[in-house]
Amino acid sequence: METQEKQTKKVVSKKVSEQSPKKSKRVYKGQKEVDHDLYKLLAAPMIKNQSWWTDRENLVGLEHCHMFHTIDSNGKEQFYSSQVGGHQHKITFERDDDGMIIPESVKIGPPVRRTKSGDIQLVVSRDKRGNVSKYDTHTHEMEYILSERIKVRQRNEEAAKRMAEFMQKTENKFAAHTTKVGEAETNVL
């Protein structure tokens, strides 16, 4: 005859095994899943001034390509290709009902440099007065590579607070060792 304790364990283990014959999907708290698409901007020639002197031009044609991610690691939608050769391209597009980019709607702009004040068109050369004499206006064709469903990273408020405190401490530490030399500042450690 079995003891009361052994009988209870058998009954509990039977109930647990009876409940889990079907698979269930895990549910993660605070996780957001988004679709990420990767595209390649196919090879195209760009013009680059390889001269060391400002008054002489040495324009060279270089083949290059870019990658384009539809979202960044925070899940925010992207509208610029990766940077190659000191420039990137603004990409405009429309999506279908499934969220895929409609190929016919894709427009790839000329090469630009992004600044805080806005996009600046890529200048290849200037005349002797400093006026722009030539812009690079190349564009690319775009090719689909793959899609992924990714989990968007969540911001950890406690870690962000500690990082801000650390940065403030190190900034004050380096500020104490900064000296002015002419117009430029240098850090003396």
Q: What is the per-residue pLDDT for 141?
A: 93
Kindly state the average pLDDT of the residues 126-130. Answer: 62
Model's pTM, two decimal places? Answer: 0.60
Is residue 83 in some structural domain? Answer: yes
Q: Number of folded domains in the chain?
A: 1
Is residue 174 in some structural domain? Answer: no
- Pairwise CA distance, residues 178 & 22, whole Å: 65
Is residue 71 in some structural domain? Answer: yes
**Domain limits at 90?**
32-152
- Pairwise CA distance, residues 137 & 110, whole Å: 5
* Inter-residue contact 106 to 142 (CB < 8 Å): yes
Beta-strand runs (E) in 54-177: 59-69, 88-92, 107-115, 118-121, 123-126, 132-135, 142-152
Is residue 41 in some structural domain? Answer: yes
Q: What is the per-residue pLDDT for 132?
A: 67
Give how far the C-alpha of residue 183 lies from the chain's centroid of Cα atoms, to the nearest Å.
35
Q: What is the per-residue pLDDT for 13?
A: 42
More confident site: 59 or 15: 59
Is residue 62 in some structural domain? Answer: yes
Banded pLDDT at 167 (limits 50, 70, 90): confident
Residue 43 pLDDT greater than 90, yes or no: yes
Span 92-112, pLDDT tens digits: 999 888 888 888 999 999 888
Span 130-148, pLDDT tens digits: 666 677 888 999 999 998 8
Span 74-97, pLDDT tens digits: 888 999 999 998 889 999 999 888
DSSP structure class, residue 75:
S
